[in-house]
């Protein structure tokens, strides 16, 4: 921790880009650094990248900075402007610590700083929160300017963010969103992977992932509830009735930003989790944070420890430092049966450090990415073919393998792996959305609702947990049989959330809930803030990975079967619809989760301050935010969504949704 007083912190924020050129800085030693990005620009384009970077600074600094930025571009493939990284620590401070003329802007600053907190972010020096390339900003100048704008914004202005660049404050109204965020929005023909490399290197676009560039990341907790729901139900698929996951094996990979949630979810499910991770820093971090019980670095030791855990029917999570392909291979050779398997390497980003091929050390792979990208690409594809072959062999013995939305099936198929089903159209293995989350959660409107207590006080989080549990239990009493299991799992989740020690960074909570649950919980929070039971505003949000908001044909919308899963109308309607119904900020991104060009995803943030206006806004916006997705899913003839939207129409005046007439299959076959 550096010692910067609160006053110095406020001054630094209000100053934006410093008046004096700060001394040259090296990235913090020991930081988990982003891999060198592809050197893709021509010499002429490099000049353009420098011109673009230098426009943030006074002319008198250009000569000195031009050389330094060129050096950064050549060394790292991007211009991060390390020199301008602030001297104060970045983390979610209590809301009152932020200099601001409007409380909502202060809440947004808190959320931004949380996304850049080294305890939370994957590559904090490069402003990357998770997923290898999920950026909050492209460079430190954008960060400084954005914080400065937020510090002077009134509640009648809106800040417009273009892929990390703050275009500026524009007059608006009290009821308008305070910030509008777009990330990576391209003219459709320019969404090939190399387009991202080129335009990102030029400094004109960025990959916002889902909750990185939308300031809504809450550490691996953000995904752990969804991962637990998925894992519990994956085991339910293969276990006999009455049997439990105790002592059964779940093999997977990745201990990064999101994937780090897997061992915790495994422990909550009660199984033996083996999670392979090639980056020792990442494995150590999750182990130190208590998200994995053991850290093992040698394959033989792993085999022995797993056998012991099987014998003792343990619940234990093991972080293994090594390549996941080696583990699949060794477990096959040693005849260790894997009950459930998955993968959470960052295959949405396969060519620049998202996936590390078998046979290369972490360091060797990182070198090859920039020194010989073609060879690296070939090795990734070879490794994917090998991994698939091994998974197929395990599956023949009965392993249930599922894709957890990291584009594993897609990239393995592109690598020519034996991964297609007999019909040559589908994959051999299901995506977790097709088999589990889609029909069980999204189609009914259940999704990863979340909140952050801006006081930073754990007591407020406890109060909010208790309020949410009380609301859910009331809903549970009247819930229809169709959603009994979901309600039961959610009540159990919130009641044990504290003891599962999920908080990393801001005082945040995730909870799967449907529209009714989200609205009632939010309304109860707003009242508790007004009554002083909760000491400061609460920020509401959700993962973009939800019922609505995200159009992603191989993930969130993979269980849409009317052909519309390749369209992105729903995500756009969400952000526009949410923005005029009361969202404090909205965001729309190209490329989160499964890769650039493969998905459009949108989300919101909403600050509850205990006011009457907040009450009106939360009702209008949360209702639309969820039901937009259910309507689209019901129009696609998804049975569960049809059930949910008909029920909603019965109880909600003013809601009138177009329903599909279902044509008889026989009629079409006879044609």
Ligand X SMILES: NC(=O)c1ccc[n+]([C@@H]2O[C@H](COP(=O)([O-])OP(=O)(O)OC[C@H]3O[C@@H](n4cnc5c(N)ncnc54)[C@H](O)[C@@H]3O)[C@@H](O)[C@H]2O)c1
Question: Is residue 581 classed as helix, strand or coil in its secondary structure?
Answer: helix
C-alpha–C-alpha distance, residues 244 and 265, integer Å: 15
Contacts of 581 (CB under 8 A, 6+ apart): 617, 620, 621, 624
Q: How far is the CB of 345 from ligand X (least distance, A)?
A: 4
- Distance from C-alpha of 510 to C-alpha of 307, rounded to nearest angstrom: 34
* Residue number, 16 or 597, with CB nearest to ligand X: 597
**8-state DSSP, 90:** P
Name the minimum Å distance from CB 393 to ligand X.
18
Burial class (CB in 10 A: 0-12, 13-18, 19+), 617: buried
DSSP code of residue 637: T
Measured from the CB atom, the residue of 511 and 536 that comes closer to ligand X is 511
Helices (H), 202-316: 221-238, 261-269, 280-288, 299-311
Nearest residue (CB) to ligand X, 103 versus 321: 321
Minimum gap (Å) between residue 405 Cβ and ligand X? 3
CB of 181 to ligand X, least distance (A): 19
Measured from the CB atom, is 56 or 217 closer to ligand X? Answer: 217
When CB distances to ligand X are compared, the closest residue is 256
Closest CA to 527 of 441, 595, 619: 619
CB of 278 to ligand X, least distance (A): 4
Local structure of 110: helix, strand or coil: helix
Residues in the chain: 671
Q: Which is nearer to ligand X, 386 or 520 (CB)?
A: 386
Burial class (CB within 10 angstroms; exposed 0-12, middle 13-18, buried 19+) of 93: buried
Q: Which CB, 52 or 345, lies closer to ligand X?
A: 345
Interface positions with ligand X (CB under 6 A):
122, 130-132, 223, 226, 253-259, 276-279, 282, 323-325, 344-348, 354-356, 404-406, 545, 555, 593
Q: How far is the CB of 592 from ligand X (least distance, A)?
A: 7
Min CB(550)–ligand X separation in Å? 10
Least separation, in Å, of the C-beta of 240 and ligand X?
28
Q: Which is nearer to ligand X, 135 or 223 (CB)?
A: 223
Q: How far is the CB of 387 from ligand X (least distance, A)?
A: 8
41 vs 325, beta carbon nearer ligand X: 325
In the bound state with ligand X, the residue whose beta carbon lies nearer, of 269 and 346, is 346
Q: Rounded to 10 degrees, what is the CA torsion of 474, 477, 479, 483?
A: 100
Q: Shortest distance, CB of residue 323 to ligand X, whole angstroms? A: 4
> What minimum distance in Å lies between the beta carbon of 77 and ligand X?
17
Closest contact distance (angstroms) between CB of 256 and ligand X is: 2
- Cα separation, 643 vs 639, in Å, equals 6
On the 0-12 / 13-18 / 19+ scale of CB atoms within 10 A, 260 is buried
CA dihedral 41, 42, 43, 45 (to 10 degrees): -60
Return the number of the residue (389 or 609) whose C-beta is nearest ligand X: 389
| 3-state SS class at 337 | coil
DSSP sequence for 29-55: TT--PPPPPP----HHHHHHHHHHHHT
User: Which is nearer to ligand X, 88 or 130 (by Cβ)?
Assistant: 130
Which residue bears the tokens 């050779």?
Answer: 333
b (16+ CB within 10 A) / e for 471-497: bbeebbeebeeebeebbebbbebbeeb
For every residue of 490-541, DSSP letters joined together read HHHHHHHTTTTT--SSSSEEEEEE-HHHHHHHHHHHHHHHHTTSS-S-EEEE
If the CB atoms of residues 12 and 282 are measured against ligand X, the closer one turns out to be 282
């Amino acid at each position: 921790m550096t010692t910067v007083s609160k006053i110095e912190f406020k001054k630094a924020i209000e100053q934006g880009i410093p008046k004096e050129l700060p001394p040259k800085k090296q990235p913090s030693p020991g930081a988990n650094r982003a891999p060198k990005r592809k050197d893709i620009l021509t010499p002429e384009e490099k000049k353009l990248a420098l011109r673009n970077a230098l426009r943030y600074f006074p002319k008198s600094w250009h000569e000195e900075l031009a050389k330094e930025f060129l050096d950064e571009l050549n060394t790292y493939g991007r211009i991060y402007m390390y020199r301008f990284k602030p001297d104060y620590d970045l983390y979610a401070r209590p809301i009152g610590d932020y200099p601001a003329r409007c409380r909502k802007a202060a809440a947004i600053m808190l959320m931004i700083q949380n996304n850049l907190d080294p305890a939370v972010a994957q590559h904090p020096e490069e402003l990357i929160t998770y997923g290898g390339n999920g950026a909050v900003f492209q460079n430190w100048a954008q960060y400084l300017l954005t914080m400065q704008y937020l510090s002077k914004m009134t509640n009648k202005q809106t800040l417009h963010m273009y892929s990390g660049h703050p275009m500026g404050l524009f007059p608006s109204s009290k009821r308008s969103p305070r910030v509008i965020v777009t990330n990576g929005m391209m003219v459709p023909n320019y969404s090939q992977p190399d387009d991202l490399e080129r335009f990102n290197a030029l400094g004109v676009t960025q990959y916002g992932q889902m909750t990185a560039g939308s300031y809504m990341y809450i550490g691996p907790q953000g995904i752990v509830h969804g991962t637990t729901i998925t894992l519990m139900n994956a085991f339910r698929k293969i276990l006999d009735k009455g049997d439990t996951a105790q002592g059964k094996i779940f093999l997977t990979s990745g201990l990064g930003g999101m994937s780090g949630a897997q061992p915790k979810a495994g422990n909550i499910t009660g199984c033996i989790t083996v999670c392979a991770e090639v980056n020792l820093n990442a494995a150590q971090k999750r182990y130190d944070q208590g998200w994995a019980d053991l850290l093992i670095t040698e394959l033989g030791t792993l085999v022995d420890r797993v056998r012991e855990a099987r014998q003792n029917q343990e619940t234990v999570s093991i972080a293994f430092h090594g390549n996941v392909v080696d583990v699949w291979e060794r477990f096959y050779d040693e005849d260790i049966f894997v009950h459930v398997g998955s993968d959470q390497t960052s295959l949405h980003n396969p060519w620049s450090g998202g996936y590390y091929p078998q046979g290369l050390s972490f360091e060797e792979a990182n070198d090859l990415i920039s020194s010989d990208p073609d060879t690296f690409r070939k090795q990734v594809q070879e490794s994917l073919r090998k991994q698939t072959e091994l998974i197929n062999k395990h599956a023949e013995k009965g392993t249930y393998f599922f894709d957890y939305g990291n584009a594993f099936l897609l990239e393995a198929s592109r690598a020519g792996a034996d991964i297609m089903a007999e019909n040559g159209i589908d994959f051999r293995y299901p995506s977790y959305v097709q088999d589990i989350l889609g029909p069980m959660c999204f189609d009914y409107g259940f999704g990863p609702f979340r909140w952050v207590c801006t006081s930073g006080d754990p007591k407020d989080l406890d109060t909010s947990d208790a309020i949410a549990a009380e609301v859910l239990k009331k809903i549970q009493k009247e819930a229809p049989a169709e959603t009994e299991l979901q309600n039961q799992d959610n009540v159990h989740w919130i009641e044990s959330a504290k003891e599962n020690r999920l908080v990393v960074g801001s005082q945040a909570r995730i909870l799967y809930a449907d529209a009714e649950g989200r609205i009632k919980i939010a309304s109860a929070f707003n009242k508790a803030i007004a009554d002083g039971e909760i000491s400061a505003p609460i920020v509401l949000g959700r993962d973009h990975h939800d019922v609505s908001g995200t159009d992603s044909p191989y993930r969130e919308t993979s269980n849409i079967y009317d052909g519309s899963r390749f369209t992105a109308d729903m995500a756009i309607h969400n952000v526009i619809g949410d923005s005029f119904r009361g969202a404090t900020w909205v965001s729309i991104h190209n490329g989160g989760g499964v890769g650039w060009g493969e998905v459009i995803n949108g989300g919101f943030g909403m600050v509850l301050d205990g006011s009457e206006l907040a009450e009106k806004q939360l009702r209008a916006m949360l209702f639309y935010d969820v039901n937009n997705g259910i309507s689209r899913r019901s129009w696609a003839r998804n049975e569960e969504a049809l059930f949910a939207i008909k029920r909603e129409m019965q109880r909600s005046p003013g809601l009138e949704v177009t329903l599909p007439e279902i044509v008889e299959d026989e009629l079409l076959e006879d044609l």
